[in-house]
């Protein structure tokens, strides 16, 4: 594949940039709008090739993400087409790291035997787990409020960005309308909005005043019902219907949101008592790098689930982050809190378990419940 895209991010004095612009000949293998692959003229083994971004930067962290994302698929195609049984993919940054050309480039180096291909000298440093913890805290390459989960098929960590889920009626109602109504009902809703807009052009604000009044009555009825939020932790379906109505779905969302927040508050009370009044709690704070008890940041719930457990009971699980933003350097830490509770009767909440997790730093810890 060739490209005629104008190259606005290249350096006239860079040899790799000149190759991209065809000012210097090369044995081209593949080319896209953002990447260029060609044979290395000083190969370590037969089939040694390079993939470079069409963006001049000396270090990998200076290259835009969309250029970097384009490189690995090309490297994969080259390795597959070459039929290499074993190979190395190498990328160096800086002279001390053996970077010969100050333009980011990735090597695909076949390793057919011990003598040819890449030779690696690997001298691991002798470091204790405490040293590793300090280095982890200093570098903090994983941004706050991200979770590391495990892909069961690949048995490898997967980064999942946490998104806060505050209750927003402006976002909630349109989604519920689409999720809880059939196609024919959606047509009626859209049609009603269209008719209202047309009528308002003739009748003026009277139409919108009437619509606002109807919405106010609808909202007032919902607010009255949500005072008994525990009755709406699961959608209450009308007789003979499989899909909840809009009001039923809204009540369920409000009920589950309220339950999640109350479970979070109860978990925070337990944790504060545990950290402040027990030796084990103080030691655990140190282990997770949470040194300033009174300066801890209790984040909002970012994930929650609700399941029916019997006639009048529900299991509620919530996840939120706990952070110490007062400590600096290697002493600042954080962990994810997972709290499970049973909601019964008229909103009675009984905590079942509280667990602290910090993937890659500390093993999971289950907190004893005392309150």
Q: Identify the bridge partners of residue 358 per DSSP, sorted by sequence position.
A: 362
Catalytic residue among 48, 56, 103, 105: 105
**325: nearest Cα among 301, 298, 293, 296:** 296
Q: Is 107 a catalytic residue?
A: no
Which are the contacts of 222, defined by CB distance < 8 A and separation ≥ 6? 247, 250, 251, 254
CB neighbour class for 87 (10 Å; exposed up to 12, middle 13-18, buried from 19): buried
**337: nearest Cα among 252, 276, 275, 253:** 275
**233: nearest Cα among 146, 151, 149, 313:** 313
The C-alpha atoms of residue 298 and residue 266 are separated, in whole angstroms, by 12
Which are the contacts of 17, defined by CB distance < 8 A and separation ≥ 6? 7, 10, 11, 56, 103
Residue 363 is classified by DSSP as E
**How far apart are the two ends of the chain, measured CA to CA in Å?**
67
The C-alpha atoms of residue 74 and residue 59 are separated, in whole angstroms, by 19
**Which residue is it, tokens 């719930």?**
301
Q: Report which secondary-structure segment, H or E, holds 161.
A: strand 156-161
The C-alpha atoms of residue 250 and residue 162 are separated, in whole angstroms, by 23
Residues labelled catalytic: 105
């Amino acid at each position: 594949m060739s490209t005629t895209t104008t190259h606005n991010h290249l350096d006239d004095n860079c040899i790799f940039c000149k190759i991209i612009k065809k000012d210097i000949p090369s044995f081209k293998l593949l080319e896209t709008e953002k990447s260029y692959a060609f044979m290395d003229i000083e190969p370590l083994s037969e089939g040694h090739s390079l993939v470079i971004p069409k963006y001049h930067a000396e270090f990998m962290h200076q290259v835009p993400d969309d250029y970097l994302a384009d490189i690995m698929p090309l490297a994969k195609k080259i390795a597959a087409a070459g039929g290499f049984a074993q190979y190395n993919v190498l990328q160096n940054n800086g002279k001390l790291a053996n970077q010969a050309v100050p333009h980011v480039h990735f090597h695909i180096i076949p390793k057919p035997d011990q003598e040819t291909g890449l030779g690696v000298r690997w001298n691991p440093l002798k470091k204790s787990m405490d040293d590793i913890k300090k280095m982890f805290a200093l570098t903090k390459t994983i941004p706050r409020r991200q979770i590391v989960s495990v892909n069961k098929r690949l048995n490898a960590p997967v980064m999942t960005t946490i998104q806060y889920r505050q209750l927003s009626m402006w976002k909630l109602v349109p989604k519920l309308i689409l999720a809880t109504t059939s196609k024919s009902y959606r047509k009626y809703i859209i049609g009603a909005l269209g008719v209202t807009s047309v009528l308002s052009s003739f009748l003026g604000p009277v139409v919108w005043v009437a619509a606002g009044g109807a919405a106010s009555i609808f909202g007032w009825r919902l607010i009255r019902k949500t005072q008994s939020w525990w009755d709406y932790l699961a959608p209450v379906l009308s007789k003979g219907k499989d899909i909840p109505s809009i009001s039923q779905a809204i009540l369920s969302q409000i009920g589950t949101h309220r339950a999640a927040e109350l479970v979070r508050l109860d978990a925070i009370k337990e944790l504060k008592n545990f950290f402040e009044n027990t030796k084990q709690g103080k030691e655990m704070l140190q282990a997770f790098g949470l040194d300033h008890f009174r300066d801890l940041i209790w984040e909002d719930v970012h994930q929650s689930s609700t399941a029916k457990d019997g006639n009048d009971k529900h299991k509620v699980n919530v996840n939120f982050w706990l952070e110490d933003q007062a400590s600096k350097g290697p002493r600042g830490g954080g962990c994810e809190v997972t709290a499970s509770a049973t909601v019964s009767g008229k909103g009675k909440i009984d905590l079942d378990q509280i667990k602290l997790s910090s993937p890659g730093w500390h093993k999971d810890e289950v907190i004893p419940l005392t309150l």
